Amino acid sequence: MIEVRDLTKRFGEARALSHVDLCVETGRIVGLVGSNGAGKSTLLRVLSGVYRPDEGTAAVDGAPVYENVAVKERMIFVPDSPVFEAGATLRSTARLYAAFYPRYDWKKYEKLCGVFPLAEKKRISTMSKGMQRQAALISALSAAPDYLLLDEVFDGLDPVIRRLLKRVIANEVAERGMTVLIASHNLRELEDFCDTVGLLHEGGVLLEKEIDELHLGMHRVQVVFAQPVSDEALRAALDVVSLERTGTLVTLVLRGEREAAEEKLAALRPVFCEFLPLSLEEVFISEMESVGYDAARVLE
Amino acid sequence: MKKTVIRSKTVWRVVTTQLRAQYILLALGLGALLLLPAISVLFAAGNEWYMKSLAGMLGFLKDETVFFCGMLPMMFFALLLAVLQFSYLFHRARVDGVHSLPVTRVELFLGRVGAAVLAMAAGAVLFAASALSALLFAVPQFFPDTWYVVLENAVMIFVGGLAIYFFTAMCAAFAGSVWEMVLSTAVLGLGGTVANVCVGWLVRASIPVSAYSVSGDVFSPYILPWETVVNHETWMLLPLALWIVVPFAVGFWGFCRRRSELGEGGFATGFQKLVRAVTALDAALVMSILSLYMFRSSYAMYVLCGAVAAIASGLVLHLLYTHSPKGMWKAARWSAAGLCAAAVLNLCVAMGWIGVPRIPEEDEVAAVRVDTSVEEAGWNTETGGMIGSYTETVWNEYNDEEMRFLNVETGEDVLNTVEPGSVDRADVQKAVALARSMLEAQRARHFPFLPQADGVWRGSTPAPPYKIFRLEEKLYLEGRTVTLSCRDLFDGERTDGMLADAAALASSETYDRAPNREAAVSAAIAIRPFVYSEVKETPPDLEIPEADREAVRARLVEAARRDNAGLPAPEDAPDEAVLAALFGLDMEDVEKMGGVQIEVEPDAEVAFSGGVLLTSQRGKPDRYASAEGVRAKIGGGMQTMTFESGASTNVMVPQLVDVYPGQGANLFPEALQIYLEYADRT
């Protein structure tokens, strides 16, 4: 389990992380979203032992990460721009990882090399950005980590490889109970992959919820009433997060159980009523607006 | 306190990954250290100059080979190794990759250092193997006497390389960017030497009878290795070792405590404060010294220029570090610290706390030597120029002696110079008293010691007439010599009195008849056959009388026949052939030669074979070394050949005339005896 308690990280005068609390259960896939500069990468660097916390703690299974070899042997961090040694190949990078990670699994490496379309002996520096990322992921996954920290991992990957990677990671989670923490600014990418999503903004965690919980608790409804119903009446009857009118068509984002919302709407005698799916992004925007944040500014 | 566990296996993994990562540099560096020594020795083997004698080859091995073919490549190798190994610290993505590995900072540092030490040790081994192989195959006759020099060289370049590596690594551990690392390395690596040179200059420009003997080399990890090999001074390995231990310890501490984010945004480091202070110190010293020349030794401008330079250096560095003038005043305190250090150094010189030589007690002094000259001049106070002068040099009665100095040199490069002087206790007493009066005179006239361009006081020169005198006094102590050189303006009775004392001392009965002087003259006579010094019996610049020419020529030929057995003997070949061989003349010129006048430099050296241990029993040599490896040397000079036609031509005398194995052996022991007697006394 990854536990972050009251974590603060400063860069000179600026605070990159401010009193962050986060808990990631073992075997979960957790997405970290937020705008640029929100502190996602900084949090991953603290969790991977690259940065030393200024205040608070970052611990894995109760042990601090920084300068803790026992923890770091079970954890791999794939940064947003992986860098390789001069002249490195996939094979030589794997050898490098194998030298430092005691559980490095060469069989898994061979298997992954068969899955991802990469030439083992080709110089990584001559590969495309997406292929370089694949090389880093193959090396990392072959180390059989208990904790995988990924920073903007889907950037530069084509849709096929993205799907493949998600499947490989999901298998690792299912088979070995690997814990994954993914930082991204792309909510749609995480929507169908993560169990939990945390939203970071200006160095703090604004929100941390199960994806299902987010989806189930919010609804978008398009409705046309036979008789005009005022905004006040709607807000009084329903838990309205947002409300828009286009002619007679009223678009509502509601919080709460679907059945209860349907009953209350039925009481207002609509001539047309349709429940539409909400994207994760819309759920986030709505949630954040409800707690007083200017969502448009937070999620660029 | 958390205990740090160092896992040797992990350190070794870092070592091997580092060696793999730097394979291009390793190939280039080690390749250079393998090829260059062999090439240079093969070059020496094909060069007549170096092959002439063992000393020639030793000179080559102790200078060119080790510097250009060993130390210089090793210095670049070490510098680049440190830069490449630690430059990842300034690249965020690389820091992510390295610092997220399950390796502690301690292991990361030790692994990198281990790889570098291994690489440099391999370089030193290759250097030694290459040079020794080339010696063995190309000049096997010199191998027994030179192999140890190659090994010494290998140790020197290894230690020198380590010093540069650790210093650069230390700077990297504290710097926030590559350019900051380069700047810190340059400023801190050379700053001490610059300050030392400036203080030395300051002392000489402030204090007429001055002494500042701190070697500037020890202040720089870049200059010290260079000096170590060029001078082939093994004792310099000790200060070099300090340049290894201290930067290693500081660099280790800094690396382990370093925050990974330091390289991301150029956050201010404590190291920047040190760089600011050292830069301000150097800038203040250099600029204030330059101001003396620009503003005619104005002390006000001296102070002002120093302060302005320190402030300007602080401003420039601040802009370089932060790209903004914001926070400049806060950072200015470190430049102020550098300026204060410069002021303290100036104060130390002004108060005579450094730079004024200590006069030894009489019982410490073994011998004394005095040279003095005096110049009286008028001074035009309006133009500041001299109006006429004459020089009067006070010499002792042996002034006209040709052989004023005798250098006795062993193969170990130990040089003893026999000079005129006195060991008479009364002379020593007088000389010490004279030295004290010199210091008192300068204190009375100059204190506090303020710097002046060229050490010449302008604007405070007393009214004419006055005297410029130069009085140099050497006090020979056990293992060292104190030289007092007074070269400023003094006036009045005090100066006249000192000059009179010096002249009396230099022309006393005991002076110049000291045992060492006698030894010099005797040794010179003894080694005359080696240097063909019979010819010196002809006074310089005088034509050999017609009647004596044949006799002189015959003696010259006889000397050549005796000491150059490898050449054709007179009975086997014409005398002209011997002459031609001796002085490299064309036979046609020799045949036309009607007379000969030879001038040679008066220096003579006897070089003992480095492989022969010289010992003595009660002042007598317990055995005579064979003449093998012994050489006689005459300094180069022009010789005038006069032909029967009356025409003359100048010919350069060979600079070295070597006596090769088996030659001159019968003449050598006497010189050896005298050398040992002299050596025992000193």
Token pair belonging to B671: 């010189």
What residues make up the domain containing A275? 217-298
DSSP state of B124: H
Contact call for A48 and B13, based on CB within 8 A: no
Q: How confident is the model at residue B3 (pLDDT cuts 50, 70, 90)?
A: low
Contact call for B96 and A48, based on CB within 8 A: yes
Token pair belonging to B565: 């057995």
Rounded distance between C-alpha atoms, residue B136 and residue B159, angstroms? 25
> Do residue A50 and residue A95 come from a single domain?
yes
Looking at the partner chain, which of B16, B102, B261 has a beta carbon nearest the beta carbon of A73? Answer: B102
Give chain A's contact residues with B (Cβ, < 8 Å).
Answer: 11-12, 45, 48-52, 67, 69-70, 72-73, 75-77, 79-83, 85-87, 92, 96, 99-101
> Do residue A203 and residue A225 come from a single domain?
no
Domain count within chain A: 2
Contact call for A69 and B7, based on CB within 8 A: yes
A269: left (phi over 0), alpha (psi -120 to 50) or beta: left
Contact call for B103 and A48, based on CB within 8 A: no
Treating both helix axes as pointing N-terminal to C-terminal, what angle do B105-138 and B92-99 enclose, rounded to 10 degrees? 100
Contact call for B96 and A45, based on CB within 8 A: yes
Residue B73: which of B126, B43, B32 has the closest Cα?
A: B32
Rounded distance between C-alpha atoms, residue A254 and residue A257, angstroms? 9
| B103–A contact, CB cutoff 8 A | yes
Q: Which residues contact A138 (CB under 8 A, 6 or more apart)?
A: A90, A94, A109, A112, A113, A116, A118
> Do residue A181 and residue A292 come from a single domain?
no
| B25–A contact, CB cutoff 8 A | no
Rounded distance between C-alpha atoms, residue B81 and residue B87, angstroms? 10
Which secondary-structure segment (H or E) carries B397?
Answer: none
> Do residue A42 and residue A169 come from a single domain?
yes
CATH of the domain at A256: 3.30.70
Looking at the partner chain, which of A11, A72, A87 has a beta carbon nearest the beta carbon of B100? Answer: A72
Which pLDDT does position B540 carry in this prediction?
29
Looking at the partner chain, which of A50, A72, A86 has a beta carbon nearest the beta carbon of B260? Answer: A50
* Average pLDDT score over residue span A22-38: 87
Q: What share of chain A is helix, strand, coil (3-state, %, to 5)?
A: 35, 30, 30
Last residue of a domain, one of A197, A213, A229: A213
Q: Which residues pair with A3 in a beta bridge?
A: A23, A59
Which pLDDT does position B512 carry in this prediction?
57
Rounded distance between C-alpha atoms, residue B293 and residue B298, angstroms? 9
Q: How confident is the model at residue B231 (pLDDT cuts 50, 70, 90)?
A: confident
Q: How confident is the model at residue B558 (pLDDT cuts 50, 70, 90)?
A: low
Contact call for B265 and A12, based on CB within 8 A: yes
| B330–A contact, CB cutoff 8 A | no
Omega cis (within 30) before A82: no
Higher confidence at residue A100 or residue A297? Answer: A100
pLDDT digits 0-9 by tens, A212-238: 777 777 888 999 988 888 888 888 888
Whole-number Cα distances in Å, A197 to A16, A28, A284, B25, B522: 20, 11, 10, 47, 100
> Do residue A147 and residue A208 come from a single domain?
yes
Q: How confident is the model at residue B490 (pLDDT cuts 50, 70, 90)?
A: low
Rounded distance between C-alpha atoms, residue B633 and residue B607, angstroms? 8
* Average pLDDT score over residue span A165-184: 91
CB-CB neighbors (< 8 A) of A150 in chain B? none
Contact call for B101 and A72, based on CB within 8 A: yes
pLDDT digits 0-9 by tens, A262-272: 888 888 888 89
B493-501 contacts, C-beta under 8 A, 24 or more apart: B494/B437, B494/B441, B494/B444, B495/B441, B495/B467, B495/B469, B496/B467, B497/B437, B498/B434, B498/B437, B498/B438, B498/B441, B498/B469, B498/B471, B499/B372, B499/B374, B499/B394, B499/B467, B499/B469, B499/B471, B501/B430, B501/B433, B501/B434, B501/B437
Looking at the partner chain, which of A72, A81, A86 has a beta carbon nearest the beta carbon of B102? Answer: A72
Last residue of a domain, one of A213, A231, A258: A213
Looking at the partner chain, which of B93, B103, B105 has a beta carbon nearest the beta carbon of A79? Answer: B93
| B7–A contact, CB cutoff 8 A | yes
Q: What is the ipTM of this complex?
A: 0.86
Q: Residue B460, SS3?
A: coil
> Do residue A65 and residue A79 come from a single domain?
yes
> Do residue A17 and residue A94 come from a single domain?
yes
Strands B385-394 and B365-380: antiparallel
> Do residue A175 and residue A31 come from a single domain?
yes
Domain map (residue ranges) of chain B? 8-267, 362-396+419-511, 527-681
CATH of the domain at A188: 3.40.50.300
Higher confidence at residue A62 or residue B486? Answer: A62
Q: Which of A15, A67, A84 to mutate to test the interface with B (most CBs of B within 10 A)?
A: A67
> Do residue A274 and residue A161 come from a single domain?
no
Which range, B84-88, B140-144, B436-440, is most confident? B84-88
> Do residue A99 and residue A187 come from a single domain?
yes
* Average pLDDT score over residue span B170-175: 92
Q: How far is B162 from chain A (nearest CA, A)?
A: 25
**A:B CB pairs within 8 Å:** 70
Token pair belonging to B198: 């400036």
> Do residue A283 and residue A157 come from a single domain?
no
Which pLDDT does position B657 carry in this prediction?
33
Contact call for A52 and B260, based on CB within 8 A: yes
Last residue of a domain, one of A156, A178, A213: A213
Find the closest chain B residue to A71 by CA distance. B102
pLDDT digits 0-9 by tens, B256-285: 988 888 877 655 567 888 999 999 999 999
* 576-595 of B, contacting A, C-beta below 8 A: none
> How many C-beta neighbours within 10 Å does residue B474 have?
18
Which pLDDT does position B654 carry in this prediction?
34
CB-CB neighbors (< 8 A) of A49 in chain B? 99-100
Contact call for A12 and B267, based on CB within 8 A: yes
* Average pLDDT score over residue span A49-63: 92
Whole-number Cα distances in Å, B576 to A233, B554, B566, B570, B584: 135, 11, 16, 9, 11
> Do residue A110 and residue A237 come from a single domain?
no
E strand residue ranges, B296-436: 365-380, 385-394, 406-410, 415-418
